Amino acid sequence: MKYAFSTLGLPGTPLTRTVALAATHGYDGVELRAHPEEPLHPGSTSGDRAAAVRAFAAAGVGILTVAGYARVAAEGPDGPVLDEVRALTELAADLGAPYVRVFPGAGDPARAGADALAVRRLAAAAPIARRAGVRILLETHDSHRTGAAVARVLDRVGHPGAGALWDVLHTWLGGESPRRSSRELSGHLGYIQVKDVASAQDLTPLGLGRGTLPLAEAVAVAPPGGWLCWEYERRWYPAAEDLPGLLTAGRAYLAGLVRATGREARHAE
Protein backbone atom coordinates (compact mmCIF):
# COMPACT_ATOMS: atom_id res chain seq x y z
CA MET A 1 0.00 0.00 0.00
CA LYS A 2 1.00 3.62 -0.47
CA TYR A 3 0.38 6.34 2.09
CA ALA A 4 -0.55 10.00 1.72
CA PHE A 5 -1.95 12.82 3.82
CA SER A 6 -4.14 15.77 2.92
CA THR A 7 -3.04 19.37 3.32
CA LEU A 8 -6.45 20.02 4.91
CA GLY A 9 -4.56 19.12 8.07
CA LEU A 10 -1.93 21.81 7.40
CA PRO A 11 -3.97 24.89 6.50
CA GLY A 12 -1.94 27.59 4.78
CA THR A 13 1.35 25.73 5.12
CA PRO A 14 4.04 26.51 2.50
CA LEU A 15 4.64 23.68 0.06
CA THR A 16 8.29 23.35 1.07
CA ARG A 17 7.18 22.52 4.60
CA THR A 18 4.53 20.07 3.38
CA VAL A 19 7.04 18.27 1.17
CA ALA A 20 9.55 18.06 4.00
CA LEU A 21 6.95 16.61 6.37
CA ALA A 22 5.92 13.96 3.85
CA ALA A 23 9.49 12.92 3.17
CA THR A 24 10.54 12.94 6.83
CA HIS A 25 7.59 10.87 8.02
CA GLY A 26 7.66 8.31 5.22
CA TYR A 27 4.60 9.28 3.18
CA ASP A 28 4.55 8.45 -0.51
CA GLY A 29 2.26 11.27 -1.57
CA VAL A 30 0.20 14.31 -0.64
CA GLU A 31 -3.40 15.25 -1.41
CA LEU A 32 -3.35 19.00 -2.14
CA ARG A 33 -6.33 21.07 -1.06
CA ALA A 34 -6.93 23.27 -4.12
CA HIS A 35 -8.36 26.41 -2.55
CA PRO A 36 -7.27 30.08 -2.72
CA GLU A 37 -6.30 29.84 0.97
CA GLU A 38 -3.58 27.39 -0.05
CA PRO A 39 -0.34 27.72 -2.03
CA LEU A 40 -1.73 25.94 -5.11
CA HIS A 41 -5.17 26.33 -6.66
CA PRO A 42 -6.61 26.80 -10.17
CA GLY A 43 -5.53 30.46 -10.15
CA SER A 44 -1.87 29.64 -9.46
CA THR A 45 0.69 30.78 -12.01
CA SER A 46 2.60 28.44 -14.29
CA GLY A 47 5.73 29.34 -12.35
CA ASP A 48 4.20 28.27 -9.04
CA ARG A 49 3.03 25.02 -10.61
CA ALA A 50 6.45 24.23 -12.04
CA ALA A 51 8.15 25.06 -8.73
CA ALA A 52 5.82 22.68 -6.92
CA VAL A 53 6.58 19.87 -9.36
CA ARG A 54 10.32 20.38 -8.82
CA ALA A 55 9.98 20.44 -5.03
CA PHE A 56 7.94 17.24 -4.85
CA ALA A 57 10.15 15.44 -7.37
CA ALA A 58 13.32 16.39 -5.50
CA ALA A 59 11.91 14.87 -2.32
CA GLY A 60 10.61 11.73 -4.03
CA VAL A 61 7.05 12.52 -2.93
CA GLY A 62 4.08 12.30 -5.31
CA ILE A 63 1.18 14.68 -5.73
CA LEU A 64 -1.76 12.31 -5.42
CA THR A 65 -4.75 14.57 -5.90
CA VAL A 66 -5.92 18.08 -6.57
CA ALA A 67 -8.75 18.22 -4.02
CA GLY A 68 -11.23 20.70 -5.42
CA TYR A 69 -14.65 21.91 -4.32
CA ALA A 70 -16.69 21.62 -7.49
CA ARG A 71 -20.19 20.30 -6.73
CA VAL A 72 -21.32 18.26 -9.68
CA ALA A 73 -24.87 17.55 -8.43
CA ALA A 74 -25.63 21.11 -7.27
CA GLU A 75 -28.49 23.07 -8.80
CA GLY A 76 -27.72 25.68 -11.43
CA PRO A 77 -26.33 25.84 -14.95
CA ASP A 78 -23.76 23.33 -16.08
CA GLY A 79 -21.29 25.88 -17.45
CA PRO A 80 -19.74 27.20 -14.21
CA VAL A 81 -19.47 23.69 -12.75
CA LEU A 82 -17.77 22.31 -15.85
CA ASP A 83 -15.45 25.33 -16.00
CA GLU A 84 -14.42 24.67 -12.41
CA VAL A 85 -13.81 20.98 -13.05
CA ARG A 86 -11.85 21.81 -16.20
CA ALA A 87 -9.62 24.25 -14.29
CA LEU A 88 -8.97 21.62 -11.60
CA THR A 89 -8.15 19.07 -14.29
CA GLU A 90 -5.65 21.44 -15.92
CA LEU A 91 -4.00 22.04 -12.55
CA ALA A 92 -3.74 18.31 -11.88
CA ALA A 93 -2.25 17.70 -15.32
CA ASP A 94 0.32 20.45 -14.81
CA LEU A 95 1.28 18.95 -11.44
CA GLY A 96 1.36 15.35 -12.66
CA ALA A 97 -1.41 14.41 -10.23
CA PRO A 98 -3.52 11.43 -11.34
CA TYR A 99 -6.71 12.54 -9.59
CA VAL A 100 -9.09 15.47 -9.13
CA ARG A 101 -11.55 15.36 -6.22
CA VAL A 102 -15.09 16.72 -6.64
CA PHE A 103 -18.13 16.70 -4.36
CA PRO A 104 -21.77 15.83 -5.10
CA GLY A 105 -23.16 18.90 -3.28
CA ALA A 106 -26.85 18.36 -3.98
CA GLY A 107 -28.02 19.13 -0.45
CA ASP A 108 -29.06 16.75 2.28
CA PRO A 109 -31.07 14.76 1.45
CA ALA A 110 -30.38 14.78 -2.25
CA ARG A 111 -33.23 16.30 -4.19
CA ALA A 112 -34.88 14.70 -7.19
CA GLY A 113 -32.81 15.10 -10.33
CA ALA A 114 -29.48 15.38 -8.51
CA ASP A 115 -28.18 12.12 -9.96
CA ALA A 116 -29.02 13.22 -13.48
CA LEU A 117 -27.11 16.49 -13.03
CA ALA A 118 -24.04 14.69 -11.71
CA VAL A 119 -24.18 12.09 -14.48
CA ARG A 120 -24.47 14.71 -17.22
CA ARG A 121 -21.60 16.84 -15.91
CA LEU A 122 -19.26 13.96 -15.16
CA ALA A 123 -20.00 12.41 -18.55
CA ALA A 124 -19.00 15.71 -20.17
CA ALA A 125 -15.86 16.21 -18.07
CA ALA A 126 -14.55 12.63 -17.92
CA PRO A 127 -13.31 12.37 -21.53
CA ILE A 128 -11.45 15.68 -21.19
CA ALA A 129 -9.83 14.50 -17.98
CA ARG A 130 -8.93 11.16 -19.50
CA ARG A 131 -7.13 12.85 -22.40
CA ALA A 132 -5.16 14.88 -19.87
CA GLY A 133 -4.13 11.75 -17.96
CA VAL A 134 -6.36 12.61 -15.01
CA ARG A 135 -9.30 10.83 -13.36
CA ILE A 136 -12.11 12.77 -11.68
CA LEU A 137 -13.12 11.19 -8.39
CA LEU A 138 -16.56 11.78 -6.89
CA GLU A 139 -16.20 11.66 -3.12
CA THR A 140 -18.64 9.84 -0.85
CA HIS A 141 -19.83 13.04 0.79
CA ASP A 142 -22.81 15.24 1.69
CA SER A 143 -25.83 14.29 -0.47
CA HIS A 144 -24.17 11.07 -1.75
CA ARG A 145 -22.29 9.91 1.31
CA THR A 146 -22.51 6.15 0.75
CA GLY A 147 -20.75 3.95 -1.75
CA ALA A 148 -24.14 2.90 -3.07
CA ALA A 149 -25.12 6.50 -3.82
CA VAL A 150 -21.87 7.35 -5.59
CA ALA A 151 -21.87 4.07 -7.55
CA ARG A 152 -25.42 4.83 -8.68
CA VAL A 153 -24.06 7.91 -10.43
CA LEU A 154 -20.84 6.39 -11.75
CA ASP A 155 -22.57 3.32 -13.15
CA ARG A 156 -24.57 5.67 -15.37
CA VAL A 157 -21.53 7.75 -16.35
CA GLY A 158 -19.72 4.62 -17.47
CA HIS A 159 -16.41 6.28 -18.36
CA PRO A 160 -12.91 5.50 -17.00
CA GLY A 161 -12.22 9.21 -16.61
CA ALA A 162 -14.65 9.28 -13.67
CA GLY A 163 -14.30 7.26 -10.49
CA ALA A 164 -14.87 7.30 -6.74
CA LEU A 165 -13.06 8.59 -3.69
CA TRP A 166 -14.14 6.60 -0.65
CA ASP A 167 -14.23 8.77 2.49
CA VAL A 168 -14.57 6.25 5.31
CA LEU A 169 -16.13 8.79 7.66
CA HIS A 170 -19.05 9.59 5.39
CA THR A 171 -19.92 6.02 4.46
CA TRP A 172 -19.88 5.22 8.20
CA LEU A 173 -22.15 8.18 8.94
CA GLY A 174 -24.42 6.90 6.18
CA GLY A 175 -24.75 3.54 7.94
CA GLU A 176 -22.85 1.60 5.29
CA SER A 177 -20.35 -1.08 6.34
CA PRO A 178 -16.83 -1.04 4.85
CA ARG A 179 -17.48 -4.36 3.19
CA ARG A 180 -20.57 -3.01 1.44
CA SER A 181 -18.82 0.25 0.50
CA SER A 182 -16.02 -1.75 -1.08
CA ARG A 183 -18.47 -3.92 -2.96
CA GLU A 184 -20.53 -0.98 -4.21
CA LEU A 185 -17.45 0.94 -5.38
CA SER A 186 -15.75 -2.03 -7.02
CA GLY A 187 -14.60 -0.98 -10.47
CA HIS A 188 -14.88 2.72 -9.63
CA LEU A 189 -12.49 3.19 -6.70
CA GLY A 190 -9.58 5.58 -7.03
CA TYR A 191 -8.39 5.45 -3.41
CA ILE A 192 -9.53 5.62 0.20
CA GLN A 193 -9.53 8.57 2.60
CA VAL A 194 -9.11 7.55 6.23
CA LYS A 195 -9.59 9.57 9.40
CA ASP A 196 -10.82 9.09 12.96
CA VAL A 197 -13.33 10.80 15.25
CA ALA A 198 -14.79 10.21 18.71
CA SER A 199 -18.40 9.76 17.60
CA ALA A 200 -21.02 10.77 15.06
CA GLN A 201 -21.81 13.72 17.34
CA ASP A 202 -18.19 14.84 17.77
CA LEU A 203 -16.30 15.00 14.47
CA THR A 204 -13.21 16.71 15.86
CA PRO A 205 -10.28 14.95 14.14
CA LEU A 206 -8.26 12.49 16.20
CA GLY A 207 -5.08 10.59 15.60
CA LEU A 208 -5.69 7.40 13.67
CA GLY A 209 -6.79 4.55 15.91
CA ARG A 210 -7.92 6.83 18.73
CA GLY A 211 -11.56 7.01 17.69
CA THR A 212 -14.45 4.87 16.58
CA LEU A 213 -14.23 4.57 12.80
CA PRO A 214 -13.94 1.04 11.36
CA LEU A 215 -10.49 1.63 9.88
CA ALA A 216 -9.28 -1.96 10.23
CA GLU A 217 -12.30 -3.20 8.31
CA ALA A 218 -11.80 -0.60 5.58
CA VAL A 219 -8.11 -1.43 5.17
CA ALA A 220 -8.93 -5.13 5.08
CA VAL A 221 -11.04 -4.62 1.94
CA ALA A 222 -8.76 -2.02 0.31
CA PRO A 223 -7.36 -3.03 -3.09
CA PRO A 224 -3.75 -4.27 -2.74
CA GLY A 225 -1.20 -1.72 -3.82
CA GLY A 226 -3.64 1.18 -3.62
CA TRP A 227 -3.49 4.46 -1.74
CA LEU A 228 -4.61 5.24 1.79
CA CYS A 229 -4.83 8.99 2.36
CA TRP A 230 -5.22 10.49 5.83
CA GLU A 231 -7.56 13.48 5.72
CA TYR A 232 -7.11 15.21 9.09
CA GLU A 233 -9.63 18.06 9.04
CA ARG A 234 -7.78 20.60 11.14
CA ARG A 235 -8.84 23.45 8.83
CA TRP A 236 -12.37 23.08 10.20
CA TYR A 237 -11.26 22.31 13.79
CA PRO A 238 -8.43 24.72 14.66
CA ALA A 239 -8.33 23.55 18.29
CA ALA A 240 -7.43 20.01 17.19
CA GLU A 241 -3.93 18.72 17.78
CA ASP A 242 -1.33 19.77 15.20
CA LEU A 243 -0.94 17.23 12.42
CA PRO A 244 2.89 17.17 12.20
CA GLY A 245 3.17 15.62 15.64
CA LEU A 246 0.81 12.81 14.59
CA LEU A 247 2.24 11.90 11.19
CA THR A 248 4.72 9.21 12.22
CA ALA A 249 2.22 7.42 14.46
CA GLY A 250 -0.51 7.71 11.81
CA ARG A 251 1.57 6.08 9.12
CA ALA A 252 2.69 3.36 11.51
CA TYR A 253 -0.91 2.68 12.44
CA LEU A 254 -1.97 2.28 8.82
CA ALA A 255 1.01 0.10 8.02
CA GLY A 256 0.13 -2.08 10.99
CA LEU A 257 -3.41 -2.52 9.71
CA VAL A 258 -2.05 -3.49 6.30
CA ARG A 259 0.38 -5.98 7.84
CA ALA A 260 -2.46 -7.53 9.80
CA THR A 261 -4.14 -8.43 6.52
CA GLY A 262 -0.99 -10.28 5.40
CA ARG A 263 -1.09 -8.22 2.22
CA GLU A 264 2.38 -6.72 2.43
CA ALA A 265 3.96 -10.11 3.00
CA ARG A 266 2.18 -11.62 0.01
CA HIS A 267 3.17 -8.66 -2.14
CA ALA A 268 6.81 -9.04 -1.11
CA GLU A 269 6.76 -12.68 -2.20
pLDDT tens-digit map of 143-168:
999 999 999 999 999 999 999 999 99
CA distance readout (Å), 125 to 3, 74, 202 = 28, 15, 36
Distance CA(70)–CA(88), nearest Å, equals 9
Q: Is the pLDDT of residue 105 over 70?
A: yes
Highest mean pLDDT among 104-113, 183-192, 259-268 belongs to 183-192
Q: Which residue has the higher pLDDT, 108 or 207?
A: 207
Q: Is the pLDDT of residue 110 over 90?
A: no
pTM (2 d.p.): 0.96
Amino acid 268: pLDDT = 36
Give the number of domains in the chain: 1
262 lies in which domain range? 2-268
Instruction: Return the CA Rg of the chain.
Output: 17
Q: In which band, very low, low, confident or very high, does the pLDDT at 262 lie, cut at 50, 70 and 90?
A: confident
pLDDT tens-digit map of 40-65:
999 999 999 999 999 999 999 999 99
Amino acid 264: pLDDT = 55
Domain of 262, CATH number, reads 3.20.20.150
Distance CA(253)–CA(25), nearest Å, equals 13
Q: What average pLDDT does the chain have?
A: 96
